[in-house]
Chains A and B, each alone.
Chain A
Amino acid sequence: MLQINSVTKQFGGIKAVDDLSFRVKKGSIHSIIGPNGAGKTTLVNMITGVYKVDSGTIFLDGADITNISTDKLVYRGICRTFQNLEICENLTVLENVLLGFDKYMDKSLLKSCFRSKSIQADEARHKQRALHLLELIGLEKLANLKAENLSYGILKKLEIVRALGTSPELILLDEPVAGLNPKETQEVSNLIKTVVADEVTIILVEHDMKMVMQISDYITVMNFGKKLAQGTPEEIANNEDVIRAYLGSGVVC
């Protein structure tokens, strides 16, 4: 589905991502792991058009999507979440999720100013869908609370749900469980699995090895911007290079 062909990104003299290639299969959970500074987030930023690629190409279902801007990629079916939470704290929980449906909404100025019936009806319909998504994470009761009042763990889940609103084909999760306690981690992990059941492809960047090993179909390991190894969770867990560079010995999955 997603095909990354020898992409490179340089910051000053440092090659953050260096001639990296891999493919992501449709409907799979593809994890990207590696030590801090290995270039994982840079890679996500290149796929989602935040950074321009220095060289190389990215294809989605055979179409070239290299260097297309983030907002346009949403219309191609790619959406992401952030390592450092990006939630609109000035909006309510429900409004944050509704934001996810934004690409389906009519925002013409005149209609908005004069409160057209079609916009009202549209909004009501999307509200139902948004509430439905909130039920997935058990937040429907807090729908009208300002997001700033919620805990970090809940907001992390909210971000994933917001991304689902765009009905993506490919979703990139950048450290979705960083800073969460084991219980919250399990909840996010479950959420991700239920998402996959809906045939969304997932690229997961994460340090929580237990979760990565549990839910991934395929893993790519990065180190110093290069691909160190790739394979199924079992292959990666037993790969000598990966153990030396990242996992350390004695990992139990």
Chain B
Amino acid sequence: MFKRYNINRDILTLSAILIIVPFFFQNDFYYEIAIVSLLNSLICIGLNMLMGYAGQVSLGHGAFAGLGGYIAVILSSNYGITPIFGIFIAVVTMSIFAFIVSKPILRLKGHYLAMATLGVGIIISIVLNVEDELTGGSDGMSVDSFTVFGYEFSSSLQWYVLCAILLVFTIWMFTNLINSPFGRVLRSIEGSEKAANSVGINVSHYKSIVFVLSVVIATIAGSLYAFFSGFISPSEASFSHSIELVVMVVLGGLGRIYGAVIGAVILTILPQLLTSFEDYQTLIYGAIIIFVMIFMPKGIASVYEDVRGRLFASNK
């Protein structure tokens, strides 16, 4: 059965870790960090699909997650739509938005693409700040509790379980997708757009699809984060959040399925661990990132793969 559904060792390991870890949580704060890690992991999986597999950079995914979150939250808090339906509408809206934006933007490459996504992100951030009647401006807005068909998510454990299941399921789907012909097309676009084009692949079409997919995941994670924390502010959609997400993906390992998760978890937890250094917190944070990128240029996940590869080789 495991083989039929492609449930491999990695995904079982991840599930086991997610089940065991809560036993070490001493209070709600641990849960909070864990949940934020999981939600960031989700966004990073989508972003990794775009950046690591299809080779298209985006410096706007924080903004997309934020905007998606705002749409879901405004619909449920101001218009009385149920949260789950609010998220659904947010997903549909953001898909259309991402598709329209992707058409002109993804014609660009490299630095120019980075600039364009950056620009879109900043525009979103400004709009969220300025439209204060709808969004509460820079003060943000409070969010009603999250209910699914009458079932209310109130405790941290409930949220943890929800996010963990969502993450495992997303990774499972993502693994299947990457290993399918569709995934091969994505990787071929990173390899050589000309080559892909020459065998009949409509490159811009696939770039749009993967962009939309990554924005959909960001929207879901962004919405859930807003409902979980009970509050949303434009800082979710800020430039620095977008950069943070990119750093997570690159640090974890571009084009490596678990790289996004590793990067997201480490960079979410790290600032918390470093708070005891007070004034030197940011300095040490930066130094660690630089250190990792110099000694593990392909990301942390690549080290894990190397180690596993060596163990496997020695077993033979």
Contact B176 A91 (CB under 8 A): no
Residues of A within 8 A of B183 (CB): 112
Contact A123 B181 (CB under 8 A): yes
Contact B199 A88 (CB under 8 A): no
Contact A79 B198 (CB under 8 A): yes
Bound Cα distance from A151 to B311, whole angstroms: 29
Contact B195 A86 (CB under 8 A): yes
Contact A74 B176 (CB under 8 A): no
Residues of A within 8 A of B191 (CB): 87-91
Of B173, B187, B194, the contact of A91 (CB 8 Å cutoff): B187
Interface secondary structure of B, over-half rule: helix
User: Would you give the 0/1 interface string for A12-48, flagging 1 where the beta carbon is closer than 8 Å to chain B?
Assistant: 0000000000000000000000000000000000001
Cβ of A88 to closest chain B Cβ, rounded Å: 3
Q: A88-B188, A90-B191 are in contact. Are A74 and B200 (CB under 8 A)?
A: yes
User: Would you give the 0/1 interface string for A64-100, flagging 1 where the beta carbon is closer than 8 Å to chain B?
Assistant: 0000011110110001111000111111000110111
Of A99, A111, A113, A122, the contact of B184 (CB 8 Å cutoff): A99
Q: Which stretch from A160-168, A179-187, A204-212 is at the chain B interface?
A: A160-168
Contact A86 B181 (CB under 8 A): no
Residues of A within 8 A of B174 (CB): 113
Residues of B within 8 A of A106 (CB): 181
B105 at the interface (CB under 8 A from A): no
Residues of A within 8 A of B195 (CB): 82, 86-88, 96, 99, 159, 162
Of A75, A112, A113, A163, the contact of B198 (CB 8 Å cutoff): A163
Contact B184 A112 (CB under 8 A): no
B197 at the interface (CB under 8 A from A): yes
B202 at the interface (CB under 8 A from A): yes
How many A residues have CB within 8 A of the partner chain? 41
Residues of A within 8 A of B161 (CB): none
Contact A98 B184 (CB under 8 A): yes
Residues of A within 8 A of B6 (CB): 115
How many B residues have CB within 8 A of the partner chain? 30
Contact A90 B197 (CB under 8 A): no
Cβ of A169 to closest chain B Cβ, rounded Å: 14
Contact A103 B187 (CB under 8 A): no
A102 at the interface (CB under 8 A from B): yes
Bound Cα distance from A75 to B195, whole angstroms: 15
Q: A102-B181, A112-B182 are in contact. Are A71 and B201 (CB under 8 A)?
A: yes
Contact A107 B199 (CB under 8 A): no
Residues of A within 8 A of B190 (CB): 88, 90
Residues of A within 8 A of B177 (CB): 109, 112-113
Q: A88-B188, A88-B192, A90-B190 are in contact. Are A74 and B199 (CB under 8 A)?
A: yes
Cβ of A98 to closest chain B Cβ, rounded Å: 7
Which residue of the partner chain A has the closest CB to B173?
A113
Residues of A within 8 A of B194 (CB): 82, 86
A11 at the interface (CB under 8 A from B): no
User: Would you give the 0/1 interface string for B37-76, flagging 1 where the beta carbon is closer than 8 Å to chain A?
Assistant: 0000000000000000000000000000000000000000
Counting from the closest, the 9 A-B pairs by CB-CB distance are A88-B191, A74-B200, A112-B180, A103-B200, A86-B195, A113-B173, A105-B181, A107-B182, A112-B182
**Given A48-B198, A113-B176, 10 extra CB contacts under 8 A:** A72-B200, A86-B198, A88-B190, A88-B191, A90-B190, A99-B199, A107-B180, A112-B180, A113-B174, A123-B180
Query: What are 9 A-to-B residue pairs whose CB atoms are below 8 Å?
Result: A74-B200, A86-B198, A90-B190, A107-B181, A109-B182, A111-B180, A112-B181, A115-B6, A119-B181
